[in-house]
Structure 1
Amino acid sequence: MDRRQISSIAHTDHPIAAPLSDDSVRTLLDRALPGGDARLLDLGCGSGTWLMRAQAARPDLRADGVDNDAAAIAAAGRAVDEAGLGGRIAFHAQDASEFSSPHRYGLILSIGATHAFGGLLPTLKAADSHLAPGGSVLLGECFWEREPDRKTLDAGFAVDDYDDLATTVDRITADGWVPVHGHVSTRQEWDDYEWSWTGSLSRWALDNPEHPDHGQALETAARHRKAWLHGYRGTLGFVTLLLRRATRP
Structure 2
Amino acid sequence: MALSLTPGRLDAADARVSYTPKPIPAETAKPIPDRIGIADVMPRLEDEDRPFNVVVLGDSTGVSENGWHVNLAVWMGETYDRPAIIHPWDGRPSVDAYQDTTWGMTQGVNAPIDMWNASVGSTKSDHPMTRLDRMIPVDGQDVDLIFVNYGHNHTTGNILTEGSALVKTLVERYPDAAVVLMLQNPERAGSPHASMQMAINSYWQRYAEGQGFDHIDVWSAFKAEPDLDALLDPVGDLHPNKAGYKLWSDTVIDALTSSNGAS
Which interval holds the TM-score relative to the shorter structure? 0.3 to 0.5
Q: TM-score, normalised by structure 1?
A: 0.45
More strand by share: 1
Work out which of the two has the higher radius of gyration on C-alpha atoms and give 1 or 2. 1
Structure with higher RCO (Cα < 8 A, 6+ apart): 2
More helix by share: 1
Q: TM-score, normalised by structure 2?
A: 0.43
